[in-house]
Amino acid sequence: MVISTVFIAVSMIWLASEVLLAFLWRAKSTDIRRDESSQKIIWVVIVISVSLGVFFKMQQFGHYGSDSRLSHIIGIALILGGLVLRWVAILSLKRQFTVDVAITDHHRLVREGIYRYLRHPAYSGILLSFLGLGLSFSSYASLIVIVVPTTAAFLYRIGIEERVLVETFGDEYHAYCSTTKRLVPFVY
């Protein structure tokens, strides 16, 4: 019961933070927007994937393990870890962060802090949270329908963002790419 209450509280905090971002951290009218509808695509994929994940969990479809407490605990820890990573990345970018792919008039390439190791730590954080959400449902089916489509949607978004960064920063961004990983330290 306590684990379920913690899961619900953490999930509500996560959802509230994403809704807050969606409404408060949008590009300004003076910024150059290059989103290509990727934000809308991401939200549609998330709503469908999480809804299916919840459905599979409720139907016990693909349920694994007789004691799912460990899966819940690991899932909650990953959601929290992803949330912290995402917010550290967002706060590191300060005014440059927007939920749309956009270039501001004061844009600069950030290479310090967490960005010294990863090019897209905010996306790493949210994907880690979705992995945690999928694990917390203790269902292989839920895990797959949550993680695979959301990862694909964010990879699509990363592709758009990286094209814009190459167009904006050119060789400087290529050099940065050669010294950092995209989402997973030392791996990818």
CATH classification number, 2-179, choose in 3.20.10.10, 1.20.120.1630, 3.40.50.12280, 1.10.238.10? 1.20.120.1630
- Tens of pLDDT, residue by residue over 129-188, are 999 999 999 999 999 999 999 999 999 999 999 999 999 899 999 999 999 999 998 888
**What is the residue extent of each domain of the chain?**
2-179
CA dist., res. 24 & res. 45, Å (int): 21
pLDDT over 70 (residue 46): yes
Quick one: average pLDDT of 30-44? Answer: 79
Helices (H), the chain: 2-24, 38-58, 69-93, 121-136, 140-169, 171-179
| pLDDT on residue 28 | 67
| pLDDT on residue 140 | 94
| pLDDT on residue 73 | 92
